[in-house]
Structure 1
Amino acid sequence: MRDTLARWPIVFAAALAATFAMAGAAQAQTPVKLVLNWKYQGPQALFFIAEDKGYFKAEGLDVTVDQGEGSAASITKVATGAYEFGFGDVNALITLASKSPDEAPLTVYMMYNTPPFTIAVKSDSPIKTAKDLEGKTLGGPANDGALKLFPAFTQVAGIDASKVEITNMQANLREQMLTRGQVDGVFGYVNTIAFSAKSAGMNPDKDFRFINYGDYGMDLYSNAIVVSKPFAKANPEAVKGFVRAINKATKDMIADPAGSVDAVMKREPLLNKQVEIERTIATLKMEMNHPEIAKVGLGDVDPERLRRAIDMVVKANGLERTPDAATIFTDAYLPPLSERPTKVVN
């Protein structure tokens, strides 16, 4: 009895220490908010994989993931401080960096390295080329990346922008308004339009024709992971941890694109799983598979290509200031090349 009583303070102290250690570990989790580019879809699986598999937690991060309202809108939400991280269009970031360099976020992981921007028209439309858009009415959600880049596209493709009427619409009405003839064409990302149409029972291969910006020389980057500059300055290790978690989850999605969609279906069970699997595979092939990743790896950029893209966006939009590439993208938070994908699909 006397031995038991003697040991009691030691046991109590150990238990108390363990309790404080657990509390300290919980407090060590850095809370951050991430805004996506759009509503939940298959290609966003990587963010939920990082959450479900504990990749964020292992990096000391407590991440809240919110749906987005457009790739351009995500950039603005990070710039205003509403979110620490965002998944948004780097071209919108370039525009913001030209106008408000101190507010603009910083790109830390380039995800979509091939331009997905397009204008979809009906397959029986007389619109065959970009020049044919003159005299027509085009529509898209106000924060759509392709719509935001249309002034640049008109410059590159030789379109008289004054002869094109632009109207805004809710994203869920985009494909329906096109098929009903309420507009002559709609802005969007190729896969977003194609698979949204497919979910609505349409056949995008037969019903639509796509006028892709990339076919007219707009070799732009697209969606990327961006971070608030004040947050990055104050929490560099948290940013590195976030990027490591995203990179690891991206590798998981590449290894099993069909299985990865389960993570999205948990959040949005009303989605058509097969359509989201097809959307994810198409995104990997068409938007994340630029040949340059064999050299620089997914997440990084070709510096010369990025500089050309910046110049193109600045010139086409008549911006007064050309941002330095270092203020748009940094590789300082990337994992080593040996840990990042150098091939997405065969």
Structure 2
Amino acid sequence: MKIARHCSALLLALAASVALLPGAASAQTKLKMVLNWKYEGPQAWFFLAQDKGYFKAEGLDVSIDQGEGSAASIPKVASGAYDVGFGDMSALIDLAAKHPDNAPVATYMLYNVTPFVVAVKKDSPIKTLKDLEGRTVGGPTTDGALKLFPVVAKAAGVDPAKVKITNMAANLREQMLMRGQVDAAFGYTLTVTFAAKAMGIDPDKELRFIDYADYGIDSYSNALFFSKKLIQENPKAVAGFVRALNRAIKEVIADPDAGMEHVMKREPLLKRDVEKEKLVATYSRQMNHPEINKNGFGDVDDARLKRNIDLVVSAGGLNRTPTLEEVFDRRFLPPRSERPANF
């Protein structure tokens, strides 16, 4: 019995010493992630996956930084500053056309409903995109709706030369619109809606939206993407991240209040009720395209993605059209049975 106890003690001591050695089996792959924007409700799944150890269970040590806009996260991953990002698919396509060797690749589609709009005040005489001629429209330089305006203008019979476009910081958009400093503003439906609410504005009573979708624009929005380097050198890490995120998304949708706990831990000054409303609106509206009934959440429809690529190439007057595989890689998706079918 004494010998057995002595052996057990030796084994425990040996295990402890091995765990302290460099390169021990417990070592995890470190990944840096950049978000689409400042901390907010619709990012709950990323924080839950981090806090509840879902990334860790996949052998990943993930750090998550705030972003500066859905388009701004793309070059940050392309430059090597980050391994993974969350941001605008059209911006990713644009970079893939211009710099195919460095552009990141999307692996999991989240915002699959076209979000692009022009926002106007409720009493504005602007009813259609054609009415923007002779008016001033504002938007951040990286805004997806602004970037696609030449394409939607063509579809709507609008002469872009007759529309004055002014750039502003994203956090000033709603303020400048309500003050009449611009006649209309480019943006994403939910972004403008909840920014207005944060200002004490009732968007249902004080704003109207002119949807790009009404003019035939059916683009994807924000996706999860990784650097080409990581995909090539460590595909296991990519698959593990996607698996952990998919697990967290299902959990947050089942219990958004639980998801909000992880958001508020990072930014206690947020208005919890507003951020929860934004979270629920995001997955029920922005992430609920009819195609997921067929493909499952996280995947894309190839024909629709091809139209999205062609749209970006046309809008930017680009000389090169990326292939589907250059912008989206579905190899890392969990099985169809493990991904949500609808919300």
TM-score by length of 2: 0.95
State the Cα deviation string for residues 17-69 of structure 1 (Å, max 9, x = none): 23413655575211111111111111110100101111011001111111111
Name the structure 2 match of 1:124: 123
1:163-213, CA deviations, whole angstroms, 9 ceiling, x for partnerless residues? 222222222221111100011111221111101111111100111111111
Matched, 1:190 2:195: no
How far off its partner does 1:4 sit? 6.0
Q: Where in structure 2 are the equivalents of 1:28-177 lying within 5 Å?
A: 28-177=27-176
With 170-179 and 325-334 compared, the bigger mean Cα shift is at 170-179
Q: CA RMSD in A?
A: 1.8
1:163-312 equivalence runs, <5 A = 163-312=162-311
Task: Give the distance between the partners of 1:198 and 1:251, measured in 2 at CA.
Answer: 27
Name the SS for the 1:183 alignment partner: coil
Amino acid at match of 2:317: G
Letter in 1 for 2:318: L
Question: Who is 1:12 aligned against?
Answer: 10
Count of residues in correspondence between the two structures:
342
Output the amino acid matched with 1:227: F
- Paired with 1:152 and 1:30, the residues of 2 have a C-alpha distance of 42
CA contact (8 A) 2:19 2:26 kept: no
SS in 2 for 1:195: helix
- Report matched runs for 1:316-327 at 5 Å: 316-327=315-326
Q: Is the 8 A contact 1:155 1:316 kept in 2?
A: no
Q: Is the 8 A contact 1:116 1:286 kept in 2?
A: no
CA distance in 1, matches of 2:263, 2:4: 55
Contact 1:32 1:64 in 2 (8 A): yes
The DSSP-based 3-state class of the residue aligned with 2:72 is: helix
Counterpart-to-counterpart distance in 1, 2:255 and 2:5: 53
% of aligned pairs identical? 61
Distance, in Å, in 2 between the alignment partners of 1:208 and 1:264 is 28
**Which stretch of structure 1 is more off in the superposition, 235-244 or 198-207?**
198-207
Aligned-residue offset at 1:145: 2.2
* Structure 1 CA distance for aligned equivalents of residues 332 and 20 of structure 2: 29
Letter in 1 for 2:162: K
Amino acid of the structure 1 residue aligned with 2:209: F
- Render the CA deviation track for 1:238-262: whole Å, top value 9, x for unaligned: 0000000110011112112243222
Residue 6 of structure 1 deviates from its aligned partner by: 9.7
Equivalent position SS for 1:332:
helix
For structure 1, list consecutive stretches of 5 or more residues without a partner in the other structure: none
Shift of 1:127: 0.7
CA distance in 1: counterparts of 2:152 and 2:60, whole angstroms: 39
Superposition deviation, residue 5 in structure 1: 8.9
Q: Distance in 1 between matches of 2:242 and 2:186?
A: 30
Query: 2:103, 2:227 within 8 Å by CA — same for their partners in 1?
Result: yes
Separation (CA, whole Å) in 1 of partners of 2:143 and 2:181: 19
Q: Deviation of residue 8 (structure 1)?
A: 4.8
Contact 2:288/2:342 (CA < 8 Å) preserved in 1?
Answer: yes
- SS of the counterpart of 2:310? helix
Unaligned regions of 5+ residues in structure 2, if any? none
**CA deviation vs aligned residue, 1:95-150 (integer Å, no higher than 9, x gap):** 11111111111010000110111111111111100111111111122222222222
Query: What secondary structure does 1:266 align onto?
Result: helix
CA distance in 1, matches of 2:83, 2:136: 37
C-alpha spacing 1:17/1:157, structure 2 compared with 1 (3 Å):
same
CA contact (8 A) 1:49 1:263 kept: yes
Alpha-carbon distance in 1 for matches of 2:76, 2:148? 19
Counterpart residue type for residue 192 of structure 2 = I
Distance 1:25 1:208, change over 3 A: farther
**Matched residue of 2:331: which SS?**
coil
